[in-house]
Structure 1
Amino acid sequence: MAGKYVVVDVETTGNSYVKGSRVIQISAVIVENSRITDQYTSFVNPEVPIPSFIKDLTGIGEEEVAKAPRFGEIAGEIHSILDGSIFVAHNVKFDRSFVAGELENAGFVNPIEKTLDTVELANILLPEANSYKLEELSDQMELEHITPHQADSDALATAELFLMLLEKAKNLPVATLQKLCKLSKNLNGSILSFFESILKEKEGRMESIPDELEFYRGIVLKKKQFSDKEAPIQSLAYPKGTEDKIELLQPLIKEFESRNGQFEMMDTVYESFRTNTHAVIEAGTGVGKTIGYLLPSIYFSVDLQEKIIISTHTIQLQHQILEKEIKVLKDAVPFSFSTALIKGREHYINMLRFEQTLWEPDSSYDETITKMKILVWLLQTETGDMDELNLSSGGKLYWKRICNDGSFVDKGNDPWTYHDFYLHSKNLAANADIIVTNHSMLVADLKHHVLPKSPYIVIDEAHHLEKSVRTKLGRMLDYNHIKFLLGKLGTTEKKKKFYILDRYTAKVSEVPSVHSFIVDNAIDGLESETDDLFILLSQMLKSTRSSNKVKNRRAKLRVSDQIRSGAGWQKVMLCAERFLDFHKLISQGVEERLALINKNQSSLSTAELAFLEEMTGFHEEWSEMGSQVKHLLSTKGNSEVTWLESDHQCMANRTSVHRQPLNINQFLSERLFKEHKSVVLTSASLTANNTFKFFNEEIGINSFERIEKRYDSPFSYEEQVKLLIPTDLPEINSVSMEEYAESIACHLIAVANATEGRMLVLFTSHEMLRKTYELLDDSNELSDFILLAHGVSSGSRSRLVKSFQQFQKAILLGTSSFWEGIDIPGENLSCLVVVRLPFSPIDDPVTSAKLESVQKSGRNPFSAFSLPEAIIQFKQGFGRLIRQKTDRGVFFVFDQRIITSVYGKAFLRSIPSIKVEKGPLDDLIPSVENWLRKK
């Protein structure tokens, strides 16, 4: 690309020039003829104080800028560099506002006319990037970035990123560039100029599409790959001996360790398949359970020509299995085998719908960016799976329009049928030996047979199975979803898709019986009843909340028999009946029109066919919403629990209604264990009090013959962990929440100073976490520490964990999701603190209903349910500390009940035998310091 680009980065004293923040460092990298030609960098004396957090972030303080020039002294040189160039930056609005402000303040006319934002370009050209932050993009793209948050390093990294994005854009096919140019007209002019200049260069010469790509209906996409099975080259005999397993795995696994527990687990899994017996296996941290079940599964599957389904709870583990363990085993075993990953169809793009949305004018910014990034993504995706994409919230809303949501029109008329990604994933699964899926998809299969038939299943992360089944079998209704569906149909202020249906219906002679004006009134009525319904529900939550001592946590209210008999619920029922009357009228109108159009489907254009498919999907979703209202509010099931939920303010538009089966053991007994020859369930935490009894009862396997095995972790916990229990903390019930939080904060400050951070603190309450965080944040004693808290600090769980690992002195506070699934090996995590034993709150709707059910059966609710559930969670939390044999750390339990209660010993017995010390915290601190110094 011709022209001069200047890539700029500034470090500043704050976020806003107009509010008084000023530049403290500036760097400008000059890019000409697709290469870096020069760089200018200077510290700047801002003539205002530099805040401490800016010093910590950038490493730039008063010493660095004291003798530096004021911006006015270098303004002429900066103006000369920028004059006539295109201004490029990562988050260009920020850098441009400061440079323009400083130049104008120095008396210069702002020379910046054209800008390019590398965040925007990266969003389009790197659709699968995990993050678009400069530091993380630099890591992903392996760009040199020596000192992040200093202008010279940031500007150079941004320039390298820009050149890489430029090269990527030059390699795009002409057809893709043409579509990007068309869509760019909805964005700023510089993005359009960027793509147009590249297109102009490419259109002037002949271009052939690479062999791995194909051009279809104006879109270039990657050809789908079909793997052929190869004949075995050696014996299919399962390696039964230890030496055989070592010989197989040792050459291919880096830092291979011979683990007897892993080898024994392999034999157990193979034996359960061979004898058609179910198995329940607890494999401690470090056993290597994934290889432990994959290797025997592969041998058994290929030898007996039987598919095996592997189900996990998390998407991360699904991809890890395919990208890590399966790759190792493909090189290890002496024969070929095939694998396939399959998810729910809503994960896959519907190409017919996507194609038609490309013609829509006046898309929003998020929609436009998402369309552009999908066009680039289609050049590289083999799956069409949205989990590969990094989508904004607006992008996710757009995805709902173009996903493969299960609606069905005649595939014979769909020009994209051969290229359908969901059908392709099903075809791969139909021909695969090993099928990897998730618990949600597995439950869907148990209900409707959506997976290839297989009598053999491995369920990893099996401690999540009960909750996954309850969630999948349950129903949920929220205000925003109903409004979203109404928005798709249209409102009186907007042109309705309903009337587009009328336009298509006019092509046939039959006239619908439900007239447009009837539906129009019904839409208005349904909007009004939706508002009224959720206002009533939120008021019920508020009235209950007013008597609750804890005001700020998320509000939940179980709809009990007492509530159902009250006047408030009767109002809800009457409103729901009016809602359903309007819903029925709209459904009839849509159904009639769809039926008429479907009669003439063969005469529809591609655009009309895409609209018909979208509306068919809408109608299915609309019908489901009506049945949800009827089921959630109008009926009562003794075997189910219903509750209302909202944010702490109990706002109507944040309120939702939930209904789930109370127990799923009978469902799994009949659909899973009875219908399959062998189901292997495994996790690091399945036992409580050294027995599988609680887990077996919860999932309904207790009446079936099964193998039960426990394989302990190979780690030397006695040498790696010390358990410390401070005895000078108050009982939570004896003091106020504020006083208890103060005690926790004081203890955490002392522990943090002794361990130098590297500390994960696990809470059971968001409210307690927030109060503790505020106290720690206000304390002057932790000024050298980075403090991160889930739900308080910005970012997802994975983002917080990554930030935690980047800093030496870091403290991470987390709740429920942080008790498991976090892997922080090495010295990054040296201290784990459990603030409270993880009992589920008794006022949680599902927990309270389960406790009632247990009590009615004549058992003790605490010992039969609350205690074993908490022990399993406690074991998961403990497992965060030691992730490899070289790890070393301290484990604090702040809850006195672990030593003062009768049941406390059950928690201690649930974890490996380790050194225990208890006493006042001041007496424990020297022990902590001595323990961590021993290496």
Structure 2
Amino acid sequence: MSNRFVVVDLETTGNAPKKGDKLIQFAAVVVEDGEIVEQFSSLVNPGREIPLFIEELTGLTDEMVRDAPAFEEIAPKVLTLLDDAYFVAHNVLFDLSFLQEELVNAGYEGFLGPVLDTVEMSRFLFPTYDSYKLNELAIREGLNHERPHQADSDAYVTAELLIILLKRLWNLPQVTLEQLHKLSGGLKSDVALLLDDMLLEKERTIEELPHSLERHRGIVLKGFENKKEQTTPSSIPYPHQDEEKEAMLLKAFHEYEKRSGQFKMMDSVFRSFSDQKHALIEAGTGVGKSIGYLLPAAFFGNERKEPIVISTHTTQLQEQLLNKDIPYLEKMLPFEISIVLLKGRSHYISLAKFEQTLKEEDDNYDTCLTKMQVLTWLLETETGDRDEINLSSGGLIYWNKIKNDDAAYFQHKSWMNYDFYLRARKAAQNADFIITNHSFLLTDLVSEQSILPRYDYCVLDEGHHFEKAAGKYFGSSLDYLDIRILLSQFGLYEQKQYHYQFEQLIKEKASALKLESRHSFEVNQLLGEITYEMDEFFRTVALLATKKVKNSSAMSRITYRLKEEEKSKEWSALKACGERFYFLIKDLVDYLNERLSAFTKIDIVLSNEQKLLLQEVSAFRNDLEGLRENLKKLILKPSEENVAWIDVDVRAPQNSTTIYAQPITIAEQLKGEFFNKKKSVVITSATLSVKNSFDYMLRELGLNEENCNLEQIESPFHYKEQVQLVIPNDLPEINSVSVDEYVAAITEHIISIAEATKGRMLILFTSYDMLRRTYHLMKESGLLEDYVLMGQGITGGSRTRLTRNFQRFDKAILLGTSSFWEGIDIPGEDLSCLIIVRLPFSPPYEPLTEAKCNLIQKNGGNPFSEYSLPEAIIRFKQGFGRLIRSTQDRGFVVVFDKRLYTTSYGKAFLQSIPEVPVNKLDINETLDLIEKWM
């Protein structure tokens, strides 16, 4: 590129120049012809003290800037650098507005040229990256970022990033560049100007698309290769001897350590498939369970010509299987295998809908940027799967417009050959392995039309989640925000959404359709009544919950179990509202049915856009039918077999109120609908047993021991040598003091232990409220200023991002709840201490827990020993498993809950984890042990 780009980064005393914040460092790097040609950096005397937190962040002190020039002295140099150039920065609005203020204060006009933002450019040029922070992008692109938060280092790395972005932009197909150019006017920086210049230069050359890309209806995308049929040997026997397995593993793993437990698991999986029996296999951490089931499943599928379905609970495990474990497996096997990842239809893009939306021009910022992301993503995606692309919240709203769905009307016929969803389904018909997740597997199970091909053999990894996941799919829900968004898609006539477009189409085809005209006012009135009744219905729902829950005003979120037998005024009002809402929706469905059926009765010529509109209206009608069905199940005719509850955010009850219902127990449904219909299902996890017994899991899943192979495979780790478990004896009983007193007591312990272990600590909570209080008390103490504190839901970021940041700092403390009890993997010295704040019992008033316990009691059982205790033990085992992830790991598990030794059931927790030394110590003894042992 012949343009001149000046990449700027500033360090400042704060982010409000109008309130007196000043510059403390200016840095600029000049890029010309794709190369760095000049650098300038200067410290700046702000004429005021640098705040402590800025000093910690940047490493710049008052002493360092004392003899530095004032900004007025370097302003002429700054303006000379910026003359006739693009102003570039990472998050340009901050740097530019701050610099403008400084220039104006120094008596200059300020910068008036074009600007580029490397955050914005990265978002649409690297649509699949999970973070656009400068240091994360630097790592991803292999750039050396020595001193983050110092202007000269930040500016240099941003300049290197800009060069990469410009090259990436230049190498895009011309058609894609033209489409990006049309959309770029909606961006915040001057990408449109940059693309103007690029397209002028490109016009001088004749472009041929690379073989990997193809163009269809004006959109360039990665070519759809027809993979050749694999020739599979008729039958290669399973390697029953350990030596044979070892030889295969050595082909894939150069530093392979023999694990007898892994061989034991392989044989158990193969035997279960061969004997057509179900299996529960608990494989301890480090067994290598993914290869432990993949290898025997591959041999069995090859021998019997049977597809094997692998289902996981999390997308992280799916990614690990696809990107790590299966490539290893392919090196090991003496035959080829085909693998398909299959998800629900809405995960895939509809290219026909995307083509249509590219013609729409009334876009907001998020929509413009997301369209640009999709255009560059299509050049590389082989799956068309939404999970690959990093969408903003506004981008997710746009995705709903372009997602694939199963409405009755077809998209443009020529797009059928490019349909990612149909392609995945077709590939699944001939695949050896179909990888999916529990939610899709269960959706497929309860849907009228199966999407998965016929299969008789299945592995459920992370199997301890299957029963809870199944509860949701045999249940139903009503969510205020979802319904409001659904109705807004149809919209009032004057809003020119589907309602307006549909009526325009009917008017255009009126003579052929022979439909009785309905005035738009009538339908508008109906929609108004539906919206009013929806608001009334959910207002009544929220009122019922807040009235029934004690101290609801002091809580941020409340849950209340709906019990029809109460016969209260509120319940009667709720049913009356529900009936009015139900019949109004029926009126709208009838209106849509009448009009949609008119199109199916006659042979009528429709454009592609009109077919897509009918597809959308039909999908909307189907969603309304589903809404009506859920209203009936939840409110009008609730089943005694179900437990229903209300979930309300007290801070915004109007926008976040949901009603849920699901079967109290789903053992019989799973048995009848799933396990009895499959020849062999292998359920595996690191946590399936309680006190070395599978009784709890068998009961929850509806399985019986006679038709099950039960296998416990111990971890190869030496827990006795690797772990010390400590139960402090100088903390109060958790239920004997107030929450504030308990938080104060544990915070003192956490601070002392953190100083002894130098951080590297994960703290698991069962309550977000207690996590938040502890985090703020740790911060306020001022005793952990050298440590990086990260709190789930407080410091921001996903679980993956928090975990990655935790590993990046030497002295880090991570506070987590719910999802942090499992699935995070922090091997080595990054994690040396795990604190479990309290035993993870579900609250007894939690609706599902309460209903399950009531049912067990009604049947003459013991709710605590049959449900509450085993459920807590399974979760405790998951939490305990976070610490030791390899044979080299060593560390401490500290459990603050004294019930481990003061109650009879406490032993059950200790009997369910690997045998480790248990120490009951006060804080000083604990610190001595840490010092000696570490």
TM-score past 0.5 threshold: yes
Q: Which residue of 2 aligns with 1:401?
A: 401
Using the TM superposition, give the Cα deviation of residue 102 of structure 1 relative to its aligned residue in structure 2, in angstroms. 1.2
Equivalent runs, 1:43-192 vs 2, <5 Å? 43-188=43-188, 190-192=190-192
- Alpha-carbon shift at residue 492 of structure 1 (Å): 5.9
Task: Tell me how far 1:99 sits from its aligned partner.
Answer: 1.2
Equivalent runs, 1:170-249 vs 2, <5 Å: 170-188=170-188, 190-232=190-232, 236-249=236-249
Q: Distance in 1 between matches of 2:45 and 2:590?
A: 71
The one-letter amino acid paired with 1:617 is: A
Partner amino acid for 1:537? V
Name 1:929's counterpart in structure 2.
Answer: 931
Map residues 725-804 of structure 1 onto 2, 5 A cutoff: 725-804=727-806
Do 1:229 and 1:338's aligned partners in 2 also have CA atoms closer than 8 Å?
A: no
User: 2:347 touches 2:386 (CA, 8 Å); kept in 1?
Assistant: yes
Quick one: which amino acid aligns to residue 732 of structure 2?
A: P
1:462 match: 463
Which 10-residue stretch deviates more, 460-469 or 413-422? 413-422
Q: Which residue number corresponds to residue 451 of structure 1?
A: 452
- What do the CA deviations read for 1:733-776 (whole angstroms, capped 9, x no partner)? 21111111111111111111111111111111111111111111
Q: Is contact 1:283-1:711 (8 Å) kept?
A: yes
Choose 11-20 or 654-663, whichever is displaced more: 11-20
Cα distance between partner residues in 1 of 2:130 and 2:346: 21
- Between 479-488 and 233-242, the greater mean CA deviation after superposition: 233-242
Deviating 4+ runs (over 4 angstroms) = 232-235, 599-602
- 1:85-143 per-residue CA deviation (whole Å, 9 max, x = no partner) reads 11011100011011111111111220242100111111111111111111111111112
How far residue 370 of structure 1 moved from its aligned partner, in angstroms, is 0.5
Q: 1:547 deviation in Å?
A: 3.6
**Greater Cα shift, 242-251 or 280-289:** 242-251
Q: 2:358 matched to which residue of 1?
A: 358
Counterpart of 1:523 (choices 517, 527, 530) is 527
Q: 8 Å contact 1:553–1:766 — kept in the other structure?
A: no
- The aligned runs of 1:569-718 (5 Å cut-off) are 569-599=571-601, 603-649=605-651, 651-702=653-704, 705-718=707-720
The residue identity in structure 2 corresponding to 1:481 is D
Letter in 2 for 1:836: R
SS in 2 for 1:782: coil
**CA 1:458 to 1:602, structure 2 compared with 1: closer, same or farther past 3 Å?**
farther
Amino acid paired to 1:806: R
- In the TM superposition, what are the counterparts of 1:784-933 in structure 2 within 5 Å? 784-932=786-934
Say if 1:352 and 1:414, in contact at 8 Å, map to a contact too: no
Three-state SS of the structure 1 residue aligned to 2:572 is: helix
Q: By how many angstroms is 1:631 displaced? A: 1.9
Change in 2 beyond 3 A, CA 1:650/1:568: farther
Q: How many Å separate the matches in 2 of 1:503 and 1:650? A: 38
Q: Does the residue aligned with 1:251 lie in a helix, a strand or coil? A: helix
CA distance in 2, matches of 1:594, 1:704: 53
How far the C-alpha of 1:12 sits from its partner, in A, is 1.5
1:499 Cα deviation after fit = 2.6
How many angstroms apart in 1 are the aligned matches of 2:831 and 2:56? 22
* CA distance 1:254–1:773, change in 2 (3 Å): farther
Residue matched to 2:414:
415
User: Structure 1's 189 and 774: CA in aligned 2 closer, same or farther, altered over 3 A?
Assistant: closer
* Alpha-carbon separation, structure 2, partners of 1:863 and 1:104: 73
Residues 602-649 of structure 1: per-residue CA shift (max 9 Å, x gap):
511111122222222222122212222222221221111110001243
Report which stretch shifted further, 508-517 or 843-852: 508-517
Look up the equivalent residue of 1:538 and give its one-letter code: A
* Equivalences, count: 929
Can you list the C-alpha shifts for 1:511-531, whole angstroms capped at 9, x where unaligned? 247553322111111111111
Does 2:508 align with 1:504?
Answer: no
1:494 aligns with 2:506: no
Alignment pair present for 1:541 and 2:545: yes
Counterpart residue identity of residue 478, structure 1: D
Supply the AA of the counterpart residue of 2:638.
K
Range 57-66 or range 739-748, more displaced? 57-66
Instruction: Give the TM-score normalised by structure 2.
Output: 0.97
The whole-number CA distance in structure 2 between the counterparts of 1:833 and 1:602 is 68
Q: Which residue identity is paired with 2:743?
A: A
**Structure 1 residue 71: Cα displacement:** 1.4
| 1:10 Cα deviation after fit | 1.0
The answer (yes or no) to whether the contact 1:512–1:592 under 8 Å persists in 2 is no
1:541 positional shift: 2.0
Q: What CA distance in whole angstroms lies between the structure 2 residues aligned with 1:303 and 1:11?
A: 65
Cα 1:643/1:245, change in 2 over 3 Å: same
Quickly say closer, same or farther: Cα 1:561–1:151, change in 2 above 3 A. same
1:404 Cα deviation from its structure 2 partner: 0.9
Amino acid at match of 1:439: H
Secondary structure of 2:252's counterpart equals coil
Q: Among 555, 561, 564, which residue is 2:564 paired with?
A: 561
* 1:496 positional shift: 4.2
Paired residue type of 2:692: N
Partner of 2:272: 272
RMSD: 1.6
The structural deviation recorded for 1:19 is 2.3
- Which residue of structure 1 aligns with residue 555 of structure 2? 552
> What amino acid sits opposite 1:609 in the alignment?
K
Write the distance in 1 (CA, Å) between the matches of 2:517 and 2:843. 53
Is the 2:116–2:189 contact (alpha carbons within 8 Å) kept by the matching residues of 1? no
Deviations 1:179-200 (CA, angstroms, capped at 9, x unpaired): 1111123334611112222122
C-alpha deviation, 1:417, in angstroms: 0.8
Cα deviation, 1:816-854, whole Å, max 9, x if unaligned, reads 111000101111110000010000011111111111111
Structure 1 gaps of 5+ residues are none
Match of 2:438 in 1: 439
> 1:82: Cα distance to partner?
0.9
Paired with 1:888 and 1:166, the residues of 2 have a C-alpha distance of: 47
What SS does the corresponding residue of 2:414 show, helix, strand or coil? coil
Amino acid at match of 1:708: L
Gaps of 5+ in 2: none
The Cα shift of 1:231 comes to 3.0
Provide the rounded CA distance (Å) in 1 between the counterparts of 2:484 and 2:254.
Answer: 53
- For the 8 Å contact 1:539–1:650, the answer to whether it is kept is no
Residue deviations 1:788-842 (CA, integer Å, cap 9, x gap): 1112221111111111111111111111111000101111110000010000011
Residue number in structure 2 paired with 1:426: 425
1:696-719 superposed Cα distances (whole Å, 9 cap, x missing partner): 110111265111000011001111
- Name the SS of the counterpart of 1:286 in structure 2: coil
Instruction: Give me the whole-angstrom Cα distance separating, in 1, the residues matched to 2:551 and 2:32.
Output: 68
Which residue type is aligned with residue 740 of structure 2?
E
Secondary structure of 1:124's partner?
helix
| Cα pair 1:429 1:452 within 8 Å, conserved | yes
Shift of 1:229: 3.9
> Which is worse superposed, 143-152 or 304-313?
143-152
Distance 1:542 1:928, change over 3 A: same
CA distance in structure 2 between the partners assigned to 1:496 and 1:335 by the alignment: 54
Deviates more, 1:104-113 or 1:719-728: 104-113
Greater CA drift, 436-445 or 509-518: 509-518
* Alpha-carbon distance between aligned partners in 2 of 1:431 and 1:46, rounded to the nearest angstrom: 68
Cα drift, residue 298 of structure 1? 0.8
Query: 3-state DSSP class of the match of 2:215?
Result: strand
Alpha-carbon distance in structure 2 between the residues aligned to 1:649 and 1:726: 37
Amino acid at match of 1:555: I
One-letter code aligned to 1:543? K
Taking the aligned partners of 1:575 and 1:230, their CA distance within structure 2 comes to 59
User: Amino acid of the residue matched to residue 776 of structure 2?
Assistant: E
